[in-house]
A and B are shown apart, each in its own frame.
Chain A
Amino acid sequence: MMSDHPIRDRPRSLGTVLLAGLLLATGCSGDGQGGTDSDGLEVVNIGFVGPLSGGAAYYGRNVQRGITMAADEIAEAGGFEVDGRRFRFEIVSLDDRYLPYETATAVRRLLQQNQTPVILVPHAGGIRVVQEMNTREPKFLLAAYSSEPSILEAENPLMLMLPPRFDGYQEPWVEVMMGRFGTRLALVPTTTAYGRAWTEAVSAEWTRQGGTLGRDHGVDYNTTTDFTGAVSRALADEPDVLFIGGPSQPTALVIRAAREQGFEGGLLIMDQAKFMEMLDIVPIESLEGAIGVYPVETYPTPGAPLFAARYYERFGADSPSPTSEIAINYQALYLIARAMTLAGTTTDPEAIRARADEAARTLPQEVRVYEVAGVTDVGLITRDVFTAHIVDGEFVSIRIPVPGGAP
Chain B
Amino acid sequence: MTLFLQQFVNGIALGSVYSLVALGLTLVYGVLKVPNFAHGALYMAGAYVSYVMLTSFGASYIVAMAVSVVVLAVLGGSMEWLVFRRLEGKTPVHSMIAALGLLFFMEGTADVIWGPTFRQVPTPFDGVVTLLGVNITEQRILVIVAAVVTMVGLYLLLKRTLVGMSIEAMAQDREGALLVGIDTRRVALLTFAISGALAAVAGSLIAPLLLVFPNMGELIILKAFVIVILGGMGSVPGAILGGYLLALAETMAGTYVSFAFSELIAFGLLVLVLVIRPTGLFQKGV
Contacts and interface: CB of A to CB of B under 8 A. Distances in A.
A58 B10 contact: no
B255 A233 contact: yes
B210 A225 contact: yes
Interface stretch (B61-69, B116-124, B183-191): B116-124
A16 interface: no
B111 interface: yes
Nearest to B11: A229
Q: Is the interface of A mostly helix, strand, loop or mixed?
A: loop
Contacts of A262: 130, 135
A333 to B, nearest CB: 22
Interface string A285-317: 000000000000000000000000000000000
B219 A58 contact: no
Interface stretch (B28-36, B90-98, B258-266): B258-266
A301 B10 CA distance: 45
Nearest to A51: B116
Interface string A312-336: 0000000010000000000000000
Interface of A: 53-55, 57-58, 61, 188, 191, 215-220, 223-226, 228-230, 232-233, 236, 249-250, 253, 260-262, 280-281, 320
Given A61-B116, A236-B3, A217 B14 contact: no
A250 B210 CA distance: 8
A215 B258 CA distance: 9
B132 to A, nearest CB: 14
24 contacts: A53-B107, A53-B111, A55-B215, A55-B219, A57-B116, A58-B116, A61-B116, A191-B260, A223-B219, A223-B263, A225-B210, A226-B14, A228-B14, A228-B140, A229-B11, A229-B250, A229-B254, A230-B259, A232-B6, A232-B255, A233-B3, A249-B118, A261-B6, A280-B120
Contacts of A260: 128, 135, 137
Contact of B220 (A191, A219, A225, A320): A225
Give the top 8 A-B pairs by smallest Cβ distance, nearest first: A57-B116, A249-B118, A229-B251, A58-B116, A236-B3, A230-B259, A228-B10, A261-B135
A258 to B, nearest CB: 11
A320 B118 CA distance: 11
Contacts of A320: 117
Contacts of A54: 215
Nearest to A277: B118
Given A228-B10, A229-B7, 8 more contacts: A53-B108, A55-B219, A57-B111, A58-B116, A219-B260, A225-B206, A233-B259, A249-B211
A243 to B, nearest CB: 14
Contacts of B254: 217, 219, 229-230, 233
A20 B202 CA distance: 54
Nearest to A223: B219
Contacts of B11: 229
B204 to A, nearest CB: 15
Contacts of B223: 225
Given A55-B215, A219-B260, A232 B118 contact: no
Given A58-B117, A61-B116, A229-B14, A253 B210 contact: yes
A217 B262 CA distance: 10
A58 B110 CA distance: 13
Nearest to B140: A228
A338 B57 CA distance: 49
Contact of B259 (A217, A225, A236, A253): A217
The interface centre, meaning the residue of B218, B255, B259 with most chain A CB atoms within 10 A of its CB, is B259
A254 to B, nearest CB: 12
A314 to B, nearest CB: 17
Contacts of A250: 211
Contacts of A281: 118, 120, 211
Contacts of B255: 229, 232-233
Contacts of A225: 14, 17, 206, 210, 219-220, 223
B222 to A, nearest CB: 9
Contacts of A57: 111, 116, 214-215
Contacts of B251: 229
Nearest to A218: B260
B213 interface: yes
A217 B263 CA distance: 13
